[in-house]
Amino acid sequence: MDFEIDSGWKLHPVGGDTGQAYMGTRAEEKLFLKRNSSPFLAALSVEGITPRLMWTKRIGNGDVLTAQEWLNGRALTKTEMSSPQVAKLISRIHNSATLRRMLARVGGEIVTPDQLIQKYEDNLPLDLYNHPLLSRIIKKLKAEVDLMNIVETKVCHGDIYRKNWLLSDENRLYLVDWDSAMLCDPAMDLSMLLCQYVPKDNWIDWLVHYDTELTEELKTRIMWYALMNYLIQTKKHHSETRFHEMNKDIIMLQTLYQGQNYFF
């Protein structure tokens, strides 16, 4: 790539779906380099949500390159995702007026329940459209959509997967990969995290660390977004012909839909 020659950086690809992230080395320096990161990264760095942003520059092909401090550490385990440390950091993100203002300033998208339904239904493959369970679920979500429009939007990460959490060797916790950041009902993030990683018997205690309580209204929103997220993920895996993953999504949808009273 052009900037290797221009600046002397040597690039070593690191994990990620986009192929845009690298460990950059030059002499004794080591940085995390990424092309075309969200402009929201600067605000996240200042707040200590992500590793420190060192510099940003536009390179020869027009891409924007960001450099963050390289931190030795690891992703969280599934068990660690239910920790108070995770709950407190998510709460700080969701309740930060500064982050909300900054995301809006850089053009952060407001994502509404109606838009999520539209995202699922646009160009929906016929076999998913005719699937009895998926049809019942989307009908239910449409009937409840007005109830979902009553909450102030907050900064949401949008991809609360355990590998997007970095625990440094100094025991500092960071949330990385903010390319899906949005202004949305915080139940969007909570549904992903709780349904995947936190045993239902621990939800009440986990939400105490998040600084809220598990009301009936919050239960309803979490379930709505859980079903919506799994529908969208089912469609995504279908389009990628990842049918094994798609079938796992459908099993989870069935578990949530048929057992939602027991689930709570």
Q: Are residues 24 and 56 in the same domain?
A: yes
Which residue, of 51, 70, 89, is where some domain finishes? 70
Q: Are residues 96 and 121 in the same domain?
A: yes
DSSP states of 209-239? HHT----HHHHHHHHHHHHHHHHHHHHHHHH
Q: Are residues 253 and 125 in the same domain?
A: yes
Q: Are residues 42 and 79 in the same domain?
A: no
What pTM did the predictor assign? 0.88
| Count of Cβ atoms closer than 10 Å to residue 29 Cβ | 12
Per-residue pLDDT of the chain in tens (264 residues, 90 and over written 9): 445 445 677 777 876 555 578 777 777 788 888 887 888 999 999 999 999 998 888 777 777 888 889 999 999 999 999 999 999 999 999 999 999 999 999 999 999 999 999 999 999 999 999 999 999 999 999 999 998 988 899 999 999 999 999 999 999 999 999 989 999 999 999 999 999 999 999 999 999 999 999 999 999 999 999 999 999 999 999 999 999 999 999 999 999 998 765 454
Which residue, of 70, 90, 109, is where some domain finishes? 70
17 is catalytic: no
Q: What is the CATH number of the domain that holds 177?
A: 3.90.1200.10
Question: What is the number of domains present in the chain?
Answer: 2
- Dihedral angle sign, alpha carbons of residues 211, 215, 218, 223: positive
Q: Are residues 160 and 248 in the same domain?
A: yes
What residues make up the domain containing 108?
75-263
**What does the buried/exposed string (b/e) look like for 60-75 if buried means 16 or more CB atoms within 10 Å of the residue's CB?**
eeeeebbbbebbebee
Q: Which of 63, 159, 179, 205 is catalytic?
A: 159
What is the per-residue pLDDT across 139-171, written as a single tens digit (0 to 9) for each? 999 999 998 988 899 999 999 999 999 999 999
Q: Are residues 158 and 220 in the same domain?
A: yes
Q: Are residues 148 and 22 in the same domain?
A: no
Instruction: List the beta bridge partners of residue 155.
Output: 183
Q: What is the CATH number of the domain that holds 58?
A: 3.30.200
Q: Are residues 126 and 162 in the same domain?
A: yes
Q: Are residues 117 and 31 in the same domain?
A: no
Which residue, of 46, 70, 94, is where some domain finishes? 70
